[in-house]
Amino acid sequence: MTLRLKVVDSRVGIHNAFTRMPFRFGVVTMTAAPVATLEVTVETTDGRRERGYAGDFLAYKWFDKRPEKTAADNVHDLLSAMREARAIYQQAEADTPFALWRSLHPEIERVVLETGFNRLGASFASSMVERAIIDAAGRLSGQSFHRMVHDDTLGIRPQEVLPELSSDDMLAALPETPLERVALRHTVGLVDPLSAADVEPDARIDDGFPETLEAYLHEDKLRYLKVKVSGEADKDIDRLTRIAEILRQHDRPVSISLDGNEQYRSIDGFAELMEHIRATPALADFYKAILFIEQPLTRDVAMDEVIGPEAAATIGRPLIIDEADGWTTAFHEATRLGYHGVSHKNCKGVFRSLVNSALAHRLNSQAGEQRYFLSAEDLTTLPVVPLQADLAVVATLGIPHVERNGHHYFRGLDHLPGETQEAALAAHPDLYERRAGGVSLRISEGGLQVSSLQLPGLGVGTPPSLETAIPEETWSFDMLAREDS
């Protein structure tokens, strides 16, 4: 039965999270950031009420990379966009979760753009409420996300986004049963230590977790990596050569995604890096291991021109959009420019990923081969709500490996109160374990067991308590600097 409901109340709480090692991506090196949890209260047409939850890392210098914007500005804009989205949802009449998203997302985008923010930020704000409503719908219906999608509880109609699609396309693109295990694709950031030689003895973290790529490969038995490049060819070739040498010493094959992180202004410029990689003998196996390349071009030019056959041949690997996926039909438009994939991230929208999955299935059927796809990427989805909701969606989408970096740059569930950590461990003993004096992600043979996420809602067994979080109204960005000092 399709649910019809409306949002009657909402609030946001924030936890401050501090890295165990710096995380450099693109133009920023992060050492601390806030994690927001949204709680919505929904009411069905027959008067029943339930709460639903969504959470995300408020990642500065990802949604908006304009140099004139500070990190504090970025977080302020994200919280402001969420307030706009919450207000718009609370003014709407009851409808299905999908119909609410379809009718309200354009208004959210319009209002957020008027404030000077961008479409990616508007998608984030819209998606937070969307996910919280999905979670509440699952709690009301007693169904997991996977069951809600397959039983039409959410009222998803892909054809309302792209007329050439149907609900059958969406269901045909998804596995009949959700994945029970997902391989972890480990992020190799631009300043991550690669070997023990990169870590000065007096700079060791020594907190019971691996610190170098070598150690992670050995201890977690990784089979997938996501490697970031800086846009400086000589430095990139040197660093990639070092990574390739470490992989040669590893006792199992490793597949790689390469992340351009918007470091290039032209596809020909990025093709030059790939030409260097292919011309470097020490990188021959590394190149063969590359599965796809993520967002090499800045978002303002990525969708401006077709990827020419010469550049495509030089690159030799499929390209996907990530930051350029700022609006509902972006993947559809990107496929006409020569891109073959798009990243799934909950922060851009769950319904969007389901539509994109249906589109990839339809295009593959037309092409007669598996050419188009969704990858699963990370926006530092920390436990519990952001991580578990994202993995629940990945399990339904059937994506076999997912980038994860929260376990690497942050120490387990340390950003959360002890009782929240214990509740997560009790509800999801396949996903978490007790380690080094706390609770952390359980990584076995390079992957994660995710069966316990198949419960009512969007993957979160025990609802989080916002009483232990800092209310949005009293939180400020300078708290990160004060607590970190």
pLDDT tens digit sequence for 263-277:
999 999 999 999 999
Report the C-alpha gap between 165 and 160 in whole angstroms. 8
The whole-chain average pLDDT of the chain stands at: 96
- Say if CB 351 and CB 458 are below 8 A apart: no
Tokens linked to 211: 């610190």
What are the CA-CA distances from residue 392 to residues 187, 362, 389, 397, 401 (Å)?
Answer: 20, 23, 5, 9, 13
Is residue 67 located within the same domain as residue 195? no
26 pLDDT tier (thresholds 50, 70, 90): low
Given this model, what pLDDT does residue 82 score?
98
CATH code, domain with 194: 3.20.20.120
Kindly tell me if the per-residue pLDDT of 258 is higher than 90.
yes
- Determine, yes or no, domain membership for 35: yes
Is residue 149 located within the same domain as residue 222? no
Is residue 11 located within the same domain as residue 142? yes
CATH code, domain with 128: 3.30.390.10
Is residue 233 located within the same domain as residue 272? yes
- Determine, yes or no, domain membership for 476: no
Report the C-alpha gap between 239 and 447 in whole angstroms. 26
β strands within 236-318, DSSP E: 255-259, 290-294
Is residue 452 located within the same domain as residue 342? yes
Kindly tell me if the per-residue pLDDT of 414 is higher than 60.
yes
Structural domain harbouring 117 = 5-164
- Say if CB 472 and CB 13 are below 8 A apart: yes
Out of 96, 130, 164, pick the residue that ends a domain: 164
Kindly tell me if the per-residue pLDDT of 220 is higher than 90.
yes
- For 444, which DSSP code? B
Is residue 41 located within the same domain as residue 182? no
Token pair 């989080």: residue: 464
Sheet-wide strand order for 470-471: 49-57, 28-44, 5-25, 470-471
Is residue 171 located within the same domain as residue 134? no
Given this model, what pLDDT does residue 352 score?
98
Per the structure, the count of domains in the chain is: 2
Tokens linked to 191: 């300043």
- Determine, yes or no, domain membership for 381: yes
Given this model, what pLDDT does residue 25 score?
74
- Determine, yes or no, domain membership for 188: yes
Is residue 99 located within the same domain as residue 187? no
Given this model, what pLDDT does residue 483 score?
52
Report the C-alpha gap between 58 and 12 in whole angstroms. 12
Kindly tell me if the per-residue pLDDT of 345 is higher than 60.
yes
Is residue 128 located within the same domain as residue 217? no
Is residue 96 located within the same domain as residue 195? no
Out of 103, 129, 164, pick the residue that ends a domain: 164
Considering the entire predicted model, what is its pTM? 0.97
- Determine, yes or no, domain membership for 484: no
CA 451, 452, 458: angle at the middle one, nearest 5?
A: 100
Q: What average pLDDT does the segment 110-139 reach?
A: 98
- Determine, yes or no, domain membership for 481: no
- Give per-residue pLDDT as tens, 141-175: 999 999 999 999 999 999 999 999 999 999 999 99
- Determine, yes or no, domain membership for 482: no
Kindly tell me if the per-residue pLDDT of 485 is higher than 80.
no
Kindly tell me if the per-residue pLDDT of 295 is higher than 90.
yes
203 pLDDT tier (thresholds 50, 70, 90): confident
463 pLDDT tier (thresholds 50, 70, 90): confident
484 pLDDT tier (thresholds 50, 70, 90): very low
Is residue 195 located within the same domain as residue 105? no
Burial class from Cβ neighbours inside 10 Å (0-12, 13-18, 19+) for residue 76 reads middle
Is residue 452 located within the same domain as residue 351? yes
Regarding predicted confidence, which is higher, 28 or 196?
196
- Say if CB 121 and CB 112 are below 8 A apart: yes
